[in-house]
Amino acid sequence: MHDVVLLILSHSSQQLKSREMDLIVGFNKIKKCKLKMNPVVFLDFYHPYAGLCNQLYLITNHIHRAFVNKTKIYINKVNVDIFKKERIPAEEFFDLKSTNENFKKLSGQEIILFEKPTKNFIVPQLCIYPVSSIEILNCLEFHERFTKLVPNKEYNGIHFRLELDAIIHYLFEKHCYDDFMDRCNKNSINSEFPEKFIKLPQVQNYIDYMLKQYITFIMRYGNKKPWFISTLVGKKDIHNCLIPTLKKLTDFIESCGGTWFTSKKHFEQRELNALVDLLTLRESVAMVGFEGSSYSEGYCFKVNSIRNKDKEYSFVNGIVPKLPDGLYKSC
């Protein structure tokens, strides 16, 4: 593994504020127009690899498109476990009333329909990337059964993304990652694969490299506040091979006189637990995120920047030269 200099990445919200002003000006121009209603957007989807934040991006983009096209949107269902293809009605996931109120404050209009349309609607071609409006992403509010689980105290947050899928994504080409996700989706992962994979010397080097970055940033913020650790390690069997790595992190925190906690598994569905973690991470005072993650950078950092939250952020960087496919296939 090449030696890489650790960088402390600080983000400014200047560009986001500029985009916010541009979008609000655009909203104000459209508000003055007399709207001629186009067919309602009926957003109903299942995307096999769309986890929590990808779904939030998708919904944000289609709310934005509905607004630009001078129409309204009905959100039917949300994926709550991408590997089990399980969905629930959107009103059991979002606080749609509060979301509508937020959007009205931004644009002067309500845009979400609560009754399922039976005619004059279109089902759009799905669009996840790029996210067209951080301002609308910020409008999304979530059901009380999730928000009430966020701790009511001050704490710092860590997005501990040293999980098996992330390691494969950053160390190998896309087709290896797609193969792994496809096998997860079909529940066909060999039980020996996780342990065999992480014992590869090249993988161990990467894990050590990432762990050093996390520890560097923890030292930067100190241990006066407890650390919330958002991770799937210890919560999903496929990632349990990384429990010893997580323990190295928590042992370091404790050795410096700090404390830490993770969220409980409140639900059986993957994305519902992820939402509780996401909302908890969003409310942390300082955050060590994962650069490029739709979770800690794409949602938490950008939404808090729009909300002018006075928080501190640092991001570990997982990008390294790719390894040969043969190493992945050997496991």
Task: Report d(CA 212, CA 294) in Å as an integer.
Answer: 22
Cα 65 off chain centre by: 22
Banded model confidence at residue 182, pLDDT cuts 50, 70, 90: confident
Q: Does residue 165 surpass a pLDDT of 70?
A: yes
Confidence band of 28 (pLDDT split at 50, 70, 90): very low
Helix pair 201-221, 243-255: axis angle to 10 deg: 30
- Do the beta carbons of residue 275 and residue 52 sit within 8 Å? yes
Tell whether the model's pLDDT for residue 174 goes beyond 90. Answer: yes
298 Rama class: left (phi>0) / alpha (psi -120 to 50) / beta: alpha
Instruction: Provide the percentage of residues in the chain whose pLDDT is more than 70.
Output: 88
Q: Residue range 105-113: average pLDDT?
A: 92
Q: Identify the band that residue 5 occupies on the pLDDT scale cut at 50, 70 and 90.
A: very low
Task: Say yes or no to pLDDT of 49 above 60.
Answer: yes
Distance CA 102, CA 279 (A): 17
Dump pLDDT digits (tens) for 239-265: 999 999 999 999 999 999 999 999 888
**Mean pLDDT of the 78-103 span:** 91
Residue 227 has a pLDDT of 98
Residue 32 reports pLDDT greater than 60: no
- Per-residue confidence (pLDDT) for residue 35, from 0 to 100: 45
Cα gap 61→40, rounded to integer Å: 15
- The one-letter amino acid code at 230 reads S
Q: Is 62's pLDDT higher than 60? A: yes
Question: Is residue 13 pLDDT above 80, yes or no?
Answer: no
Q: What is the DSSP letter of 324?
A: P
pLDDT for 48 equals 64
Q: 70 in helix, strand or coil?
A: coil
Kindly tell me if the per-residue pLDDT of 290 is higher than 70.
yes
Query: Taking residues 262-273, what's their average pLDDT?
Result: 89
